[in-house]
Amino acid sequence: MLLKSLISLCAIGALGGCAAPMNNRVAGPGPSPETLAAAPVEVGIVAFNDFHGALEPPRQSVAAPDGKGGTVAVPAGGAAWLASAVQSVRARHPNHLTVAAGDLISASPLASSLYLDEPAVGVMNRLGLEFTAVGNHEFDRGRQEILRMQNGGCAKFTARTPCALERFGGAQYRYLAASTLTESGQPLLAATGMKSFGSGARKVTVGLIGLTLKGTAQIVSPDGIAGLTFADEVATINALVPGLKAQGADAIVVLIHQGGAQEPDTDPNGCTGFSGDIRPILDNVDPRVDLVVSGHTHRAYVCDYAAYNPARPILLTSAGNNGRMITDITLAIDPQTHRVTARRAANVIVQSEPYRGAAGPVANTDAYPRFAPDAAVGTYVARYVAATRDYSNRRVGAISGPVGSRIILGQMIADAQLLATRPAGAVMALMNRGGVRADLVPAADGAITFGDIYTVEPFGNGLLTGTITGADLRAVIEQSVDDVGEITPAIPSEGLRFSFDRRRPSGSRVVDLTFAGKPVDPAATYRLTVSAFLAGGGDGYTVLKRLRDVVPGGIDLDAFEAWFKAAPLRQVPTTYRVTDLAPLPASAEH
């Protein structure tokens, strides 16, 4: 394995050749002062994204090559292991910088979310994060709360009380939000950052731009971003590059909460069949951009983008989500020409502890390094985990087995929402795929705890029931499978079924749409339940703004808990209510 690792290291791009073994060699004279002065300065960058408050190991793995032509599932994640991995990579780089690409908070497990993600910020402070882009989830609790995340304090902007365990001092790292503009047209937070290394003629400077995706307004609650606008990513970046260069930036790094995906997704260091909303951004960005650290899609990749567009030889990275990976990046900067002369990157799996998942046990593997948990971070996390234990371990019901399909889980949630809102006349419900955040794995006796369902559905959205026409219902489902973003079909409750064909033009992909076994009548009306987030047009479901005679119906998580309690044992559904008539051959649920 060591030999294979050495060969792989020698094969990666070229900041210099690998040395031969030292046996039987006679040391010659060292490089001259002139040679050393002309050599590039290497800057190591540790990067990650989409941490989502995953303080404990998230019971998730990384699918990675096993060295034998197949893949192996590597158990990964957990803040204490993440901190250790960051320290390990940083130790290899005398000049180093630690950055992230957004969504470090919110959509989080209970131990972080119950405390408004203050402990997630505390973890980032402890592992030495320096800059991060804002992501869409940073806005889940509103603009004032994200300012509190940056600046600290105990002002209350949410239903939950801040500073419940300790006074919150705020992020010691800098949030960058170049494209998030207030009513005055100025960024809500800092737009750029800089860090220098070395001195004199050997001094080099890295300039950073951080921003979220232009579509943030479509995927967060409108109330939380009132008065804010999200500018175009390309226009924002290109307007800032000249200023950073004028201030002496030798390398330009963009931290952006937008991304893509490779297919097949079996190598975290691959970039095969790469697609996604990040591509048109890269195709049009200022060619002086050297590195783009991306996120949002929860996928892992390392791309030499010159393979897709020779005019944009940008290094593009993403490290999955939930702290399961970090990216070890090296930029070689010529201090005389003030240019990046070479760049390389590799995703490092944060192998942590084994667990039992929806598909069975996931064991440690010797194919990848294991990290010992950082003691200080582990102690810090343990305090918050202990404080939530009684709340989290409360039994809410039982289920016949684990659920690894997010679509099946979405159907269960939709059924729960329908049951909870039948008094408001509801006959159907729709759930969005992005609202299902984790697998559901019961204890050995089938027991499900509140912490289990909270991890699956952590948003605490209100439910609304309103009247919709059959024509508008079809239009809503068309929006879920259109060409805006990734195709993620709406997930229906019991009795509602549809099929779609992605080969057909966007806007006319729904082939069959039935309710109670009969075609949905375009002229008829139905009582539909959705989350308040979707009813406000979230996830692009803008047609849902047409709901009439709307009645509030409690909280989504309460509905899911009540659904479990309403039966002694819930059976895992075995059939899908949505049929994809042209599924992608290598697609996987994410």
Which residue bears the tokens 């949030």? Answer: 175
Q: Quick one: CA dihedral 441, 445, 446, 450, positive or negative?
A: negative
What span, in angstroms and rounded, lies between the C-alpha atoms of 46 and 84? Answer: 12
Confidence class of residue 17 from pLDDT cuts 50, 70 and 90? very low
Angle formed at CA 228 by CA 226 and CA 232, multiple of 5 degrees: 140
- Residue 10 pLDDT > 90, yes or no? no
Query: Which 3 state secondary structure label does DSSP give 312?
Result: coil
Q: What DSSP letter does each residue of 220-257 carry, written as one string?
A: S-GGGGTT-EE--HHHHHHHHHHHHHHTT-SEEEEEEE
Q: What is the pTM of this model?
A: 0.89
Residue-wise pLDDT for 470-493, tens only, equals: 999 999 999 999 988 778 999 999
Tokens, residue 146? 């994200």
Q: What DSSP letter does each residue of 91-154 carry, written as one string?
A: TT-SSEEEEE-S--SSS--HHHHTTTTHHHHHHHHHHT--EEE--GGGGTT-HHHHHHHHH---
Which residue bears the tokens 């290497």? Answer: 42
Q: What CA–CA distances, in Å, run from 566 to 121, 400, 526?
A: 38, 15, 25
Tokens, residue 383? 């305090």
Per the omega criterion (within 30 degrees of 0), is the bond before 505 cis? no
Residue 30's pLDDT is 59
Residue 512 CB neighbours (<10 A): 12
Residue-range domains of the chain with CATH: 36-380 (3.60.21.10), 394-580 (3.90.780.10)
Mean pLDDT confidence for 525-532? 97
Residue 309 CB neighbours (<10 A): 14
Confidence class of residue 583 from pLDDT cuts 50, 70 and 90? confident
Bridge partners (DSSP) of residue 551 are 465
Confidence class of residue 294 from pLDDT cuts 50, 70 and 90? very high
Polymer length in residues for the chain: 590
Nearest residue to 342 (alpha-carbon basis) of 5, 578, 564, 42: 42
Residue 540's pLDDT is 87
CB-based contact 99:259 (threshold 8 Å)? no
What span, in angstroms and rounded, lies between the C-alpha atoms of 271 and 256? Answer: 18
CB-based contact 326:101 (threshold 8 Å)? no
What span, in angstroms and rounded, lies between the C-alpha atoms of 407 and 431? Answer: 10
Which positions ≥6 away from 380 have C-beta within 8 Å?
119, 122, 123, 126
Quickly count helices (H) and strands (E) in the chain: 15, 29
Which residue bears the tokens 């050393």? Answer: 36
Confidence class of residue 499 from pLDDT cuts 50, 70 and 90? very high
Q: Which DSSP category does 116 fall into?
A: T
Residue 31's pLDDT is 63
Type and span of the H or E element at 361: strand 360-362
Type and span of the H or E element at 328: strand 325-334
Nearest residue to 173 (alpha-carbon basis) of 199, 188, 204, 152: 152
Q: What CA–CA distances, in Å, run from 569 to 350, 400, 422, 445, 553?
A: 36, 7, 21, 11, 25
Mean pLDDT confidence for 264-283? 95
Type and span of the H or E element at 181: strand 180-181
Residue-wise pLDDT for 172-196, tens only, equals: 999 999 999 999 999 999 999 999 9
- Range among 17-21, 38-42, 166-170 with highest mean pLDDT value: 166-170
Q: What CA–CA distances, in Å, run from 260 to 141, 271, 486?
A: 26, 10, 9
Residue 439 CB neighbours (<10 A): 21
Q: Quick one: CA dihedral 374, 377, 383, 388, positive or negative?
A: negative
- Residue 7 pLDDT > 70, yes or no? no
